[in-house]
Amino acid sequence: MTSADTAVSKEGLTIPLIDFSKFAAGSPEERKETADAILHGFQDAGFIYLKNHPVSADALKHTFARSADFFAQPLEDKLALGWTTPEANRGYSSPGREKVSHHFNSDDVEKERAAAPDLKESFEIGREGEPDHPNHWPAENGSLANWKADMLDFYAQCKALHVEVMRAIGIGMGLGDSFFDNFVDVGDNTLRLLHYPEVKSEVFKINAGQVRAGAHSDYGSITLLFQDQRGGLQVQSPSGQFVDATPIPGTVVVNAGDLLSRWSNDTIKSTVHRVVEPPSQDSTHPPRYSIAYFCNPNFTSQIEVLPGTYKTEADKKYGGINSGDYLVQRLKATY
């Protein structure tokens, strides 16, 4: 049995379903085969699904429940924890504040926001212990007791998975499993809790361009996305059509981001995706929750085109760039 099956196959888009246990605990041959499958998935589709990954089902169920606890708070309590600056990238964003987009220019993003604001709210948690950018923790009363500890535990589990996926990419690219370790050891990542409130189906009919989250590519290296079973995530195919990335219980969807694409000299794809009206005929769509863990190189890292992705200096599509500066630049256009 191979380490990869198929999660999505439509419109020329094939997203593999990969058994990650064969990388984490398999033989050297299985480890290499799985690493190759992960890299090829990122090169071909920009997306993969991982099953048998180390984030436990119990931990995931608990974190989804804790996320719902947070979003159930009164709006004024959430606004008191509001998102402030791109440099911090922490805190609460109310519906309509952020507009995810594939545009880099803030004026273009604003036009999209005005036409069809995203129907979601979110809460961002960054690396704990940064004195200049502290996390915005809610008061731990009632349903939010021990909330901070639970979120930091889940953050740590995702950080560990990020390291392992980057090790797989390193092996697949012939760079070795430790190549990326010094680029990701700090954990300058963002845990994002997402809530898409209940919405009437007529909202999508009145405005043909209305979505729950606009078409965009992610900014960093990879994203770990945990979905509930509501559906709505779509990935753009090579033909330009958007294809449903249907939730598969027990899996994490992992996609490559713009910075990893740049790092790989565009040999890895950062694919556009969006969240649309769920595939149901109900007049009212219930709330949708998802959890995204945005992975980045350490913010102090200088990102140069990776060895093996070019033959001569003239083949390099990109010059070097600081990871932290790049991400702040992208966030400034989004908010």
Contacts by 132-141 with C-beta closer than 8 Å and gap 24+? 132/88, 133/87, 133/88, 133/89, 133/90, 134/90, 135/90, 136/81, 136/82, 136/90, 136/91, 136/92, 137/81, 138/70, 138/73, 138/77, 138/81
Decide which of 4 and 170 is more confident. Answer: 170
Residue type, 123: F
Share of the chain above pLDDT 90, in %: 78
Strand partners, 98: none
Which element (helix H / strand E) includes 233? strand 233-236
Taken in order of first residue, the domains within the chain and their CATH numbers are: 6-334 (2.60.120.330)
Q: Quote the CA–CA distance of 24 and 162 in Å, as a whole number.
A: 12
| Buried-state track 284-297, b at ≥16 Cβ within 10 A, e below 16 | ebeebbbbbbbbbb
Q: How many residues can be counted in the chain?
A: 335
Cβ atoms of 152 and 128 closer than 8 Å: yes
Contacts by 92-98 with C-beta closer than 8 Å and gap 24+? 92/121, 92/122, 92/123, 92/124, 92/136, 93/121, 93/122, 93/123, 93/124, 93/335, 94/121, 95/119, 95/120, 95/121, 95/197, 97/335, 98/122, 98/334, 98/335
Contacts by 91-94 with C-beta closer than 8 Å and gap 24+? 91/123, 91/124, 91/136, 92/121, 92/122, 92/123, 92/124, 92/136, 93/121, 93/122, 93/123, 93/124, 93/335, 94/121
Q: What is the pLDDT of residue 1?
A: 40
Q: Taking Cα atoms as reference points, which of 204, 212, 190 lies closest to residue 120?
A: 212
Q: What is the pLDDT of residue 213?
A: 72
Decide which of 201 and 244 is more confident. Answer: 244
Which element (helix H / strand E) includes 326? helix 323-334
Share of the chain above pLDDT 70, in %: 88
Strand partners, 19: 51
Residue 142 — very low, low, confident or very high, per pLDDT cuts 50/70/90? very high
At 67, give phi and psi (nearest 5°).
-65, -45
Q: What is the pLDDT of residue 102?
A: 47
Least confident among 3-7, 116-120, 303-307: 116-120
Q: Taking Cα atoms as reference points, which of 326, 52, 320, 296 lies closest to residue 185?
A: 296
- For the chain, how big is the Rg over CA atoms in Å? 19
pLDDT, one tens digit per residue, over 57-83 is 999 999 999 999 999 999 999 999 999
Cα distances (Å, whole numbers) of residue 297 to 69, 182, 324 = 31, 9, 8
3-class DSSP state of 199: strand
Q: What is the pLDDT of residue 281?
A: 67
pLDDT at 84 over 70: yes
Q: What is the pLDDT of residue 210?
A: 60
pLDDT at 244 over 60: yes
Cβ atoms of 147 and 137 closer than 8 Å: yes
In order, the DSSP letters of 274-290 are EE-S-S---SEEPPEEE
pLDDT at 254 over 50: yes
Q: What is the pLDDT of residue 103?
A: 41
Q: What is the pLDDT of residue 230?
A: 85
With a CB cutoff of 8 Å and minimum separation 6, the contacts of 131 are none
Pairing, β 13-19 against β 47-51 = parallel
Residue type, 286: P
pLDDT at 112 over 80: no
